[in-house]
Homo-oligomer: A and B are copies of this chain.
Amino acid sequence: MTGERTLERFRDYLVGPARFMNVMSCFELGIVDALRGSGGRTADELGNQVDAAPEAIEQLMQLLVKDDLVTYDEESGRYALAGLGALADDDLHRVLAIMKMVKTVMLRQSFHLTESVRRRRPVGLETIYGYQGNLYGALAEHDDLRRSWSTMMDAVTAHIDPWFFDNIDVATGARVLDLAGNTGLGAILAYRAKESRGLRVATFDLPEKEAECLRNFKAHDVEEHCTFIGGDVFREVPQGFDVVLIKHFLDMFDKPQVMQILRNTHQALNVGGQVNILGPVYSEDIKSSSAVDFFPTYFLGCSMGQGGPQKLSTYARWLEEAGFTVTKAVAQDPAEMPADALVAHGILCATKNDR
């Protein structure tokens, strides 16, 4: 690549944070709402309506006009929705949920990316929130983090989980383990998705999750079919299962930890048993992967200080190394995902070898 083209890339990098917050702020101030359903508004009218200086509105609108999200009519001095008006409500809500997550969970935290890599922990959480530990622990203590992260993650789960359960087989009467199943929602979903098979599902996670998990089972009326087992996935996993589910978990860790999880999963399964994995994956051709624009900074700088997705082929290789035979490896088709999607998910199914 030429020096000229490289410098253009740097211009893109340099304006990334400013562009993100400029657009975000137009939503936060209420400018976009004020333009919605109006035939057009001047900076003065918008300033009155959202209680900001008209001069500031003019500055913030420049980027939206440049990017065709909004039009500006020189004659009347009026702004009106352009590209923003072409978005379906569902699309807009999804995009705003992700923007809010990026602002709350990543923007300031990513300042500490380099130090987080060096120390293998998300330093920004300590600096900004005084929290020692990873994002998933911090979510329990900090409302702003939890709200912005959960809203985004719930939208992802609602979309992705049905696709996952459509893709996996569970035999009648199977004993299923939901690895790192948190407070049981994954077990409940699994039970409901495959209810006709008469399966039993156990949530496996740290003992402190038990009380809330059992409350959830009761509230969802699945207490006869779902149980909780306390333990640490890096130490020992309970044995005697036909199916293990690993959802949104492997991507949090580096290869040594992933291998340990897979080997412990191997021990948990009966011979011929199945592991089914769901999580974000990088495209096989990295040049076409949106996820690499996002996840390294998210995992290393903002949530774990380690981890990050792999390619489907990499996970498949690691499964074989851990004593499995891969029976299915599918990724979401980018052509069927919305144009703003950062993340393609993958599913891997594998059978425990008889060795």
Q: Is the CB of A301 within 8 A of B66?
A: no
Residues of chain A at interface, number, CB under 8 A: 89
Q: Is the CB of A56 within 8 A of B95?
A: no
In the bound complex, how far is the Cα of B239 from the Cα of A22, in angstroms? 41
Q: Is the CB of A18 within 8 A of B106?
A: yes
A1-18: contact bitstring with B at CB < 8 Å (1 yes, 0 no)? 111111111111111111
Q: Is the CB of A107 within 8 A of B117?
A: no
Q: Is the CB of A59 within 8 A of B3?
A: no
Q: Is the CB of B299 within 8 A of A59?
A: yes
In the bound complex, how far is the Cα of B299 from the Cα of A327, in angstroms? 56
- Kindly specify which of A273-281, A287-295, A315-323 makes contact with the partner chain: A287-295
A325-344: contact bitstring with B at CB < 8 Å (1 yes, 0 no)? 00000000000001111100
B residues less than 8 Å from A255 (CB atoms): 55
A63-94: contact bitstring with B at CB < 8 Å (1 yes, 0 no)? 10111110010000000001110111001000
B residues less than 8 Å from A1 (CB atoms): 68-69, 82-83, 86
For the complex, is A220 an interface residue (Cβ under 8 Å from B)? no
- Kindly specify which of A96-104, A166-174, A226-234 makes contact with the partner chain: A96-104
For the complex, is A19 an interface residue (Cβ under 8 Å from B)? yes
Q: Is the CB of B55 within 8 A of A7?
A: no
A-B contact pairs, 20 of them (CB 8 A): A1-B82, A7-B87, A9-B68, A9-B83, A11-B341, A15-B294, A15-B342, A16-B18, A16-B20, A17-B110, A21-B110, A25-B114, A25-B117, A25-B297, A53-B306, A55-B308, A56-B306, A59-B296, A66-B287, A107-B108
